[in-house]
Structure 1
Amino acid sequence: MPTIYQPETPRLLLRQWQPEDREPFAAMNADPEVMKYFPRTFGREESDRIAQLCEELIRQLGWGFWALELKETGEFIGFTGLHAPTDPLPFVPCIEIGWRLAKSHWGKGYATEAAQATLKVGFEQLHLEEILSFTAVGNHASVAVMQRLGMEFVEHFEHPALPEGHPLRPHLLYKKVNPDLVN
């Protein structure tokens, strides 16, 4: 049985998924503004499958895309964490860092705060050499988080899961190298 990591910050708990997270997660995934840089929104059934997969991966690995809880209220506000992408991306195998927050929690620094705690787990506990992040060109908010995390731009690439000509196909790739490995 792996160690289950549950990083936290002064304001946030990154934790295993709970049944009560399903409804607010589905609402977030159905919000066209939250999903602006994804090919589509998700309905409840698909959203529940994603949450179940996140939960199972955390159970198997001890880490993954954690549910993000606001400590002050216990409210589910999104997710942040690490993931091994399975799409045929030009840079896999790799570990990516990602986040998605409910719109009502944008602009409060939660994504950066949770991602910093995630990087700490990735580098200090999992001893990863590097962590990548990628997003559609034009997703300035996510790029700003990547930059605040000290990630460096690597390249533009075309996301192979999206058809040629799709407006979200052009992507940006960023990375952060484990600071313990830098001379």
Structure 2
Amino acid sequence: MSINECFKSTRLLYRPYQQEDLQTFVEMSHEDSRRRWFYFQEPDCLTPAFWAKIINNNIAAWSKKVNLLEEKAGYDMAIILKSTGALIGSVGLTKYHGPEIELKDIEIGYHFREVYQGCGYGTEAAIAAVGWGFTELHKLGTEPKIVGKAEFENTASRLVLERAGFRYVHSEPYLSVYEIFN
């Protein structure tokens, strides 16, 4: 996939980040729901410099051949509402948390602007991202498995995973862990 291509689901478009996304991501990082669940990124995630780096890493990752097993930046996608063209959130798949921590499995992550939460977009985006991820993992000749993690108290995120077809596996400190196979 090139930097300008995207895939689609019923109501949403998915594409790599663009420089024009900077202000929206900064605004989103200041929303209460994002700050509640991404507290471990503060205060850095509140700055334009943080998001500029994230966007540049994303552009660099998408400029190469997609390999979910090797790209340390992961593959995050901006989620665009087809009906308005608005950037409403992000969904991504990664095998790494930063350059040093390699995960056992591919992990899905997502977040949405508050005004678009509770509309079913999370489930739609998770299903689309998992479908794309399974396709990419098959190309690499690996057994497709994707995990999702949500804090116990984050009922909305846990419901997104369940509605997208993930099954609960076990608990870790503060987290419920889910998985899905193709």
TM over 0.5: yes
* Offset, 1:61: 4.4
* Offset, 1:140: 0.6
Matched residue, 1:171? 175
SS at match of 2:6: coil
Name the TM-score, length of structure 1 as normaliser.
0.80
SS at match of 1:36: helix
Spell out, residue by residue over 1:7-37, the C-alpha distance to the aligned partner (whole angstroms, 9 max, x if none). 2112111002112111001100122222211
Tell me, yes or no, if structure 1 residue 142 matches structure 2 residue 173.
Answer: no
Letter in 2 for 1:152: R
Matched residue, 1:97? 108
Matched residue, 2:62? 58
Spell out, residue by residue over 1:124-156, the C-alpha distance to the aligned partner (whole angstroms, 9 max, x if none). 343252001112221111000000011111121
* Offset, 1:101: 0.6
| Matches of 1:59 and 1:155, distance apart in 2 | 36
Listed as ranges, the gaps of 5+ residues in structure 2 are 69-74
How many residues get paired?
A: 164
CA RMSD, Structure 1 to Structure 2 (Å): 2.1
Contact 1:26 1:48 in 2 (8 A): no
Q: Quick check: which one's helix share is greater?
A: 2
Listed as ranges, the gaps of 5+ residues in structure 1 are 159-169, 179-183
Contact 2:90 2:110 in 1 (8 A): yes
| Matches of 2:58 and 2:122, distance apart in 1 | 18
Q: Could you tell me the percent identity over the aligned residues?
A: 28
- 1:9-28 → structure 2 map (5 Å cutoff): 9-28=9-28
Q: Quick check: which one's strand share is greater?
A: 2
Tell me, yes or no, if structure 1 residue 68 matches structure 2 residue 79.
Answer: yes
